[in-house]
């Protein structure tokens, strides 16, 4: 769809490419000894990642768990999750998505949703190249919120690449009040003409009912403090719609955990996904009284215990 209005090409909100001084495909890759926690993607962005290794008290590594964070998040927000599963014998890895956390990229912006997916596969290959001893170990993928949508696309692109998948409050369907035909048409127009225009935000209080989580989130210097961009909004909607076009590929073991009071990602999307996929090994756990971020909610131990039980059952 072409832009209906003329716009100066030098206008920041009109340039669909990332306006980053050093990021080009020909950029020199990060020195692995000086910057061991960075990788470089196809656009030349340096992406930051973190790992949680099982402590020495754990006799052996049981499996590898990859985590994909949500919108505007960063790996440090999953520190509790990483330590929990590492103590249970899993080596956990999480990368800051482009445009978030300590990774490069304009905040809350992506040219195409598939860039997130491509970045993850690059990250996975990098981690496994660093740890060839894990080649025969079970692999798992946990994605939260927007990360759940990324994980869904990963699973549909490579259904056999992991032993099992876990989606936490995945963004599989938009809020019908926000995705009316008129609003979608307007969003598409803005995405074409002014892709970086700020179109809305998220109240941290909608993330969790856990007061401590909200207080830290509001003060977190790495958590996004800018508006969502028009291009991000439309590419998210397109990615959600694409999921249902490839649903028949979802034959893998899957656990979805979702808060019943999730105000950001409709529970109906998780219910529909579980009902629609052909997998014979699938389960949706709904948590009464919990909000969007069930991994850090007031009953987070219960949620992580349910996930651990699922992972352990697929390590055999």
What pLDDT does 187 receive?
66
**Which one is catalytic: 74, 262, 270, 314?**
262
What pLDDT does 4 receive?
46
Going residue by residue through the chain, which has 316 residues, state the pLDDT in tens, using 9 for 90 and above.
Answer: 445 444 444 446 655 566 677 888 889 999 999 999 999 999 999 999 999 999 999 999 999 999 999 998 999 999 999 999 999 999 999 999 999 999 999 888 889 999 999 999 999 999 999 999 999 999 999 999 999 999 999 999 999 999 999 999 999 998 766 666 656 676 667 666 777 777 777 888 889 999 999 999 889 888 877 677 878 888 999 999 999 999 999 999 999 999 999 999 999 999 999 999 999 999 999 999 999 999 999 999 999 999 999 999 999 7
Q: What is the per-residue pLDDT across 96-151, written as a single tens digit (0 to 9) for each? A: 999 999 999 988 888 999 999 999 999 999 999 999 999 999 999 999 999 999 99
- Is 292 an annotated catalytic residue? yes
Q: In what order do the strands lie in the sheet with 63-68?
A: 38-40, 46-52, 90-95, 63-68, 139-144, 164-168, 254-259, 282-287
% of the chain with per-residue pLDDT over 70: 88
Q: What is the per-residue pLDDT across 167-176, written as a single tens digit (0 to 9) for each? A: 999 999 987 6
How far apart are the C-alpha atoms of 180 and 200, rounded to whole Å?
A: 16
How far apart are the C-alpha atoms of 177 and 207, rounded to whole Å?
A: 19
What pLDDT does 226 receive?
65
**Which one is catalytic: 69, 86, 103, 145?**
145
Q: What's the mean pLDDT when you consider all of the chain? A: 90
Angle at 216 between CA 302 and CA 284, to 5 degrees: 30
Residues 6+ positions from 65 with CB-CB distance below 8 Å: 85, 90, 91, 92, 93, 139, 140, 141, 142, 311
What pLDDT does 192 receive?
66
- Is 145 an annotated catalytic residue? yes
- Domains of the chain and any CATH numbers: 24-313 (3.40.50.1820)
- Is 258 an annotated catalytic residue? no
What pLDDT does 109 receive?
87
What pLDDT does 8 receive?
44
Q: Using DSSP, state whether 176 is helix, strand or coil.
A: coil
What does each C-alpha distance from 169 to 115, 179, 311 come to in angstroms? Answer: 21, 18, 18
**Which one is catalytic: 126, 144, 258, 292?**
292
The phi and psi torsions of 265 (rounded to 5 degrees) equal -120, 110
What pLDDT does 292 receive?
96
- Helix intervals (H) in the chain: 79-87, 114-130, 146-157, 181-193, 211-219, 230-245, 267-276, 300-313
What pLDDT does 205 receive?
87
How far apart are the C-alpha atoms of 263 and 207, rounded to whole Å?
A: 8
Assessment of whether the complete model's pTM goes beyond 0.85? yes
């Amino acid at each position: 769809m072409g832009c209906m209005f003329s716009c100066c090409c030098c206008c920041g909100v009109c340039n669909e490419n990332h306006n980053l001084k050093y990021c080009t495909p020909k950029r020199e890759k990060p020195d692995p000894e000086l910057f061991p926690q960075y990788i470089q993607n196809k656009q030349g962005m340096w992406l930051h990642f973190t790992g949680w290794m099982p402590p020495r008290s754990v006799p052996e590594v049981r499996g590898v768990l990859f985590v994909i964070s949500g919108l505007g998040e960063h790996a440090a927000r999953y520190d509790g999750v990483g330590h929990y599963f590492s103590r249970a014998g899993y080596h956990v890895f999480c990368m800051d998505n482009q445009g978030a956390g300590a990774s490069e990229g304009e905040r809350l912006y992506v040219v195409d949703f598939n860039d997130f997916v491509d970045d993850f596969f690059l990250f996975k290959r990098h981690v496994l190249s660093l740890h060839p001893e894990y080649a025969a170990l079970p692999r798992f993928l946990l994605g939260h919120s927007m990360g759940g949508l990324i994980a869904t696309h990963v699973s549909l692109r490579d259904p056999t690449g992991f032993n099992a998948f876990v989606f936490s409050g995945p963004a599989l369907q938009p809020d019908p009040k926000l995705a009316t035909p008129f609003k979608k048409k307007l969003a598409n127009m803005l995405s074409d003409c002014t892709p970086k225009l700020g179109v809305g935000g998220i109240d941290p209080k909608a993330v969790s009912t856990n007061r401590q989580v909200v207080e830290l989130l509001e003060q977190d210097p790495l958590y996004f403090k800018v508006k969502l961009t028009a291009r991000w909004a439309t590419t998210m909607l397109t990615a959600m719609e694409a999921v249902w076009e490839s649903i028949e590929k979802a034959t893998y073991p899957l656990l979805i955990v979702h808060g019943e009071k999730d105000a950001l990602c409709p529970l109906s999307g998780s219910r529909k996904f579980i009902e629609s996929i052909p997998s014979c090994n699938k389960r949706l756990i709904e948590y009464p009284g919990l909000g969007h971020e069930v991994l850090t909610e007031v009953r987070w131990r219960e949620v992580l215990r349910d996930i651990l039980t699922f992972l352990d059952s697929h390590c055999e």
